[in-house]
Amino acid sequence: MKNEVIFQDLGQISYQQAWNHQQCLLEEVIAIKKINRQQPNSSPQKHYLIFCEHPPVYTLGRSGSKSNLLLNEEQLTAGGFEFFKINRGGDITYHGLGQIVAYPIFDLDCFFTDVHRYIRYLEEIVIKMLIEYGIVAGREEGFTGVWLEANSSQPKRKICAIGVHLSRWVTMHGFALNVNTNLAHFANIIPCGIEDKDKTITSMQQELGTEIDIQEVKNKLLYHFAQQFDYDYAPAAATMQK
């Protein structure tokens, strides 16, 4: 039997609320896993896929440096930004409206136990979805995420950042895809700690020159998630209180 993944679209939600929700689901999945190890097949394992958008916020991964945040506390407050140091991998990134943030809460014991393969799968989902919009993207050696090659007028551009955390092979955090994102907000950080002059940040809107239907992008991502991880998903409305 294929795995079943429960989908939740939380819409616009604060970073703290989404983080708390992820943690609750992670603990639920781990608890089921422990029970099943003591009493095999007593309860089907659950997997979740969350989509959401956050109000402007900068997050710093466990291997990052706060020096890559170019604003002080007063400037953060004045600009309407939040800041969190969190437990995912990677350095600093920005989340804001017009960006699709995907948080898979998957028990990789039910798929495969290989974190590098898992990250490649997340990248592949975004790469395949972007092709549907005529955006040719790929990977950049030595870096995670999804990138566009340099051309005669632009350097290499990162369109999707990835940072994950695993506990007992259960995943949390995930990727942030720039759809209609305000790219000016990336000027307040050294994105992902990458200071190369030949690399920058982009969005689908920036590449295509028009605002993108974000719900359409979500639908396409859902399809590619199910295809890439070979599962059946059961869409469900989010019930958490915002």
Catalytic residues: 192
**183/220 Cα distance (integer angstroms):** 23
100 phi, psi to nearest 5 deg: -90, 120
How distant, in Å, are the alpha carbons of 2, 29, 118 from that of 33? Answer: 17, 6, 19
Gap between the Cα atoms of 45 and 200, Å rounded: 40
Stretch (H or E) spanning 103:
strand 99-105
Q: What b-and-e string marks burial along 6-31, b requiring 16 or more CB atoms within 10 Å of the CB?
A: ebbbbeebebeebbebbeebbeebbe
184-200 as b/e: b if 16+ CB within 10 A:
ebbebbbbbbbeeeebb
